[in-house]
Structures are given as structure tokens and as C-alpha cells.
Amino acid sequence: MSRIRTTIIIATIVCICTTGAYAADREFTFEGKYLNFPVANEAPPCLLSLEINGKKVREFVMNLAPGEPDYWIYLEVQDFIGKKGTLNARKLPDNQMKGFKAIYNDDTFPGEENLYKEKLRPQFHFSSKRGWINDPNGLVYYKGEYHLFYQHNPFRWDWGNMTWGHAISTDLVHWVEQGDKLHADEMGTVFSGGGVVDWNNTTGFQTGNEPPLIGLYTSAGSESAWSEGEPFTQSIAYSNDRGRTWTKYKGNPVLPNIEPIDRDPKAIWHEPTNQWVIALHFERGATAFFTSKDLKKWDFQSEMKSDYMRDCPELFQLAVDGDPDNKRWVIYGGSGHYYLGEFDGKGFNPETGPTRFNYGNLFFASQTFSDVPESDGRRIQIAWGTVSMPDMPFNQQMTFPVELTLHTTDDGLRIFAYPVEEIRNIHGKKYRWRDEELEPGENPLENVKGNLFDIDTEIELGDADEVGFEINGFPVAYMVRENLLIGGTGEEGARGFGQGETKAELRPTDGKISLRILVDRSSVEIFANKGRIYMPMQAIRDLGNRSLKIYAKGGAARIEELTVHEVKSIWP
């Protein structure tokens, strides 16, 4: 551990815990970018706040370790380097004094040397260095960079302290964490929302040659002590340096509270009416539509009621079977159940739906990237990968980015999901089989070992009753007679973290099925029949089991094509 720097500053952190009567003062100079705190998950929570020149700039709750920490977390203080202040604690329990005295400022944090090498760290799905993550926010593309913002609790393993974390990728695969960008204030913590490029400077925020990036978010009043008594309202922030630094609009909130809980604004530019359209979630089970010329003043237009439209509304168009002259509008909420229909800039007229989108247990609150160029033409989606990471200093992940397409099927129009082609950037060693009989008891993959794979196969079912894979002991099975795809075991997962079996009807085509399976340390994402069925699965398993098996039961099947790529880590 580096030495503690202790010169006087004009910053105050106040820690008020539930019991005890001890007061303590510490003096620091912020010379390093991290203020490091020892954490114990079972310790009582403390409320901390940071003041600069007498003004509160940060507030958060954490579990300060009374003794040996489970791990260390950090407060990013790079914006305050060179400034002075005092670290204060009031009514600090005696048994937490050791943890308080251990707080220190440095350019590194304990555990950084093992970063991205932790036992359950996803190796090609995004997860944050420290703390909890959930909804993807503000997904926007600009000048070769994909911006992923996300709900982040930097200070604890579980939900709370909502801020917008930030990561950037140039290929949708390799992500570089940029630190937290939007922090709680007196209006509330920072809940979910969307992002856009303001190409026409409708906001008037542009100061240079770059059009501003705009983030829309919910100021979640009363979700923190700082904002006690405040309602939920909608706010915006902007960046004039390609997303590196962000400024909250001085006129926030741009939309006052309407419903007891209204949140998760998502904006699109509606070309036919030459204005912004904002979709906003109402807690009673509705999505409201607003229009705006400048993202500062919003006019209510209509609402769409549906029990499936809860949390994080999303609105966009997809071409039917790739035909740019035949499109449908898509709207969905947190669960991913979607409606297809028409949208005139003021209201949505559903023609089909609600239709189930995913069949797994690793999916919620997805969002698609705005401003992807027409020359690319893809609608790219990322969701919150809902899987708990026991005994880790981080928790939860994002799903692997998928391209959404709309196809005509026997059941009507359906959205397909398939991994983005950029996954090839992390493909490693390749194994391939063609036109090979698969008899019961045989396993062509017997000599393939590992925990990270991209598996792609087409199987002629023959007279088999069941075909499938066992991936480090995790089953993916297709029951031929029932036309049923099953992921998982039906048993509760490690330590009761909700892993289990999920099922989906899957009908073969000409006696064949196709399966694409992405295998990471804590997830198995299944794409059947080229994305007709999307089944992202929680899959924390015994990583000491590195076996891979393809099998047939009750009769022989035939491997038309089977390609297995080992997958390389995206982390440095």
C-alpha cells in the first residue's frame, strides 16, 4: 500500500453511521486520482459526503470495513487533484475506526494488479472495475466510437448510489472504462436514460467544431439523503469533447414531475416532423410520448398503456426482411416484450404484440445505439446481464452486443437477435467438423477444453430424441419430439443466485436446427435458428470443469457443420 498523503485540503467527507459516538478528523491533499476505502459487505452502511470549498459535490452510502476488508473500493477524485480539504467522521462506531483510519489517497487502488483476472470476471462481456452495474444508458455512436453508459454503484456490491458509469469501444468488443460521468446531486441520484448526437445544435450547447453529445436521465429525488423530499424529474447533460467530460444543464429539470414515478427518458430525432421525440416510463404501466425542438422544453403528446411497458422504453424502426422501403416501428420496455406498428411522431399504433423477445434469465432493460450511420444500417442492442457474482468486488455484467433484424416467419413478423460480427476480433483457435455422424455415446469435442467459446453448429436431427451440448457441465438441450430448446438444469444456481432452467419452442427447418452459443465465465448466450430464439442464460459454474461435449440420445443425428472458436479475453 502506498503511503497516506496528509496535508490540509478544503474538502469534507462526513461519515454518519447507525451507532456509536466517536468523532474523527483526517486532513488530505488530493494528489492521486483515487480515494481508497476498505469495504466489508456485511458491515453497517455509512453515509458519506464530499464538500469542496464548502459545497457538497458527492454523496454516497458504503459499508466501511471494521476490520479486514473484503475488498477496496474507490472514489474518483481526479477532478480535485491539487485541492485541499478535510476528511471528517461523526458518530463513527468504535469498531469502524480502523477502517476510517485506513482510507488513503493514491494513483492506484488495492487489487488493481489483479484487475480483470478475478475468478468470475467476464472475459468478453463488459463489467465495471468495481461495484454494481445494471441498465445500459445513453448508448450512442459518434466518430468511430461506441459509448456505453450504465447504471453504476461504485461504492457497494449491491444496488444504490446510482451514477452513470462510462466505457468506450471502437469495435463493440473491447471496452475501455472512462470513469463515472454523471453523479448524484440535490435533485436526486442519476437513474436511466438515453443519449443522442445533437447534429443540428438544437440545444445551443455546442462551443466548438464538434456537435454536442446529449444525455437524458432521471433525477431520482428522495433516492438519497441529499435529495430527501424531492420528486422524480427529467434532466439533461451535454459534452463538447466527444463524451470525455460532461456538464449538467443549469436549467434542469427540463421536465418537472408528472407521475409519482416517471423515469428512463429515451430520445430519437423524428425526421418527418423535424423534432425530438422522447419516450418516458410511467410507473402505472404506460409509456408517454413527448416532443421537443431543443430537448429543453417538452410537450406531452400521448401515452401507450401496457403492463409489458415497464422501465426503460425504447423506440426505433426495423426493415422487414431487409427491405428499406418496408419498415415497422418497434417499441419495448425493460422485459424486452415488443410491439410492432406505426408511429407518427406523436403516438404509437400497435399492430402486433406484445411479443416475447428473449427466453433466458440474463436480460433486462436493454437499449440500442443511437446515431449509428446509415452506411452501417445496423440496430445494435445491449442489455443488463442479470447475474450475481458472489465474493467478487464487482457485480453484474452487460450482455454481448447483438444486431436486431425483423423477419417474416410462420408466426408473423418477429425480431431476431444475433451476435455482432465484430466478435471475430477475439476469436482464437478454431476447430471444425463437417458432415459427421453423431451416434449416441460419441463426443467429437472430447479433446476441446476451456471456459470461453463461440460455438456455431447446424444439426440434422435424424432419428435422435435429444441433441445438445454440455458446456463445463452446463446443459443446452433440444428435445426433438417436443420441439423444445432447454438451457440450464432446472436447479437453483450457486448460492441461490437464481440460475435455473429456461425453455423455448423451436421448430426445425427441413429437419435441422442451428445453434450459436457464446460461453463466458458467468453466462451462456444461446441463439437458435439464426437468432429466431434468443436465450441469454446465467451460468456461474465450476470453472475447473473445462470439458465440452456435443451429444445425441435415442438415435443418431448428423453434424452438418460445427465450428468452435476459443475466445480471447477483451481485457489488457
By annotation, the residues acting in catalysis are 135
Alpha-carbon gap, residue 488 to 66, rounded angstroms: 39
Cell 460461453 sits on residue:
519
Alpha-carbon gap, residue 287 to 306, rounded angstroms: 8
Task: Provide CB contacts within 8 A for 134, sequence distance 6+.
Answer: 150, 151, 159, 364, 365, 384, 386, 396
Task: Provide CB contacts within 8 A for 473, sequence distance 6+.
Answer: 541, 542, 545, 547
Q: Are strands 548-553 and 484-487 parallel, antiparallel or unpaired?
A: unpaired
Q: Are strands 131-142 and 394-395 parallel, antiparallel or unpaired?
A: parallel
Which H or E run contains 101?
helix 97-102
Torsion region of 21: left, alpha or beta (phi above 0 gives left; psi -120 to 50 gives alpha)? alpha
> Of 124, 156, 249, which is closest to residue 198 (Cα–Cα)?
249
Residue 114 sits at φ, ψ, to 5 deg, of: -105, 10
For the stretch 168-173, contacts whose Cβ atoms lie closer than 8 Å and that sit 24 or more positions apart, written own/partner, are: 168/243, 169/145, 170/144, 170/145, 170/146, 171/422, 171/425, 172/146, 172/380, 172/401, 172/420, 172/422, 173/124, 173/401, 173/420, 173/422, 173/423, 173/425, 173/426, 173/570
Task: Provide CB contacts within 8 A for 423, sequence distance 6+.
Answer: 124, 173, 400, 454, 518, 567
Bridge-partner residues for 299, per DSSP? 291
Task: Provide CB contacts within 8 A for 413, sequence distance 6+.
Answer: 320, 328, 340, 352, 406, 407
Alpha-carbon gap, residue 502 to 499, rounded angstroms: 9
**Inter-residue contact 403 to 418 (CB < 8 Å):** yes
> Of 140, 241, 247, which is closest to residue 195 (Cα–Cα)?
140
Alpha-carbon gap, residue 158 to 154, rounded angstroms: 10
**Inter-residue contact 331 to 279 (CB < 8 Å):** yes
Alpha-carbon gap, residue 460 to 373, rounded angstroms: 39
Is residue 318 helix, strand or coil? strand
Q: Which three cell numbers stand for residue 294?
A: 431543443
First-to-final CA distance of the chain: 23
Alpha-carbon gap, residue 553 to 480, rounded angstroms: 10
Taking CA atoms, 320 is separated from 239, 317, 357, 362, in Å, by: 35, 10, 16, 27
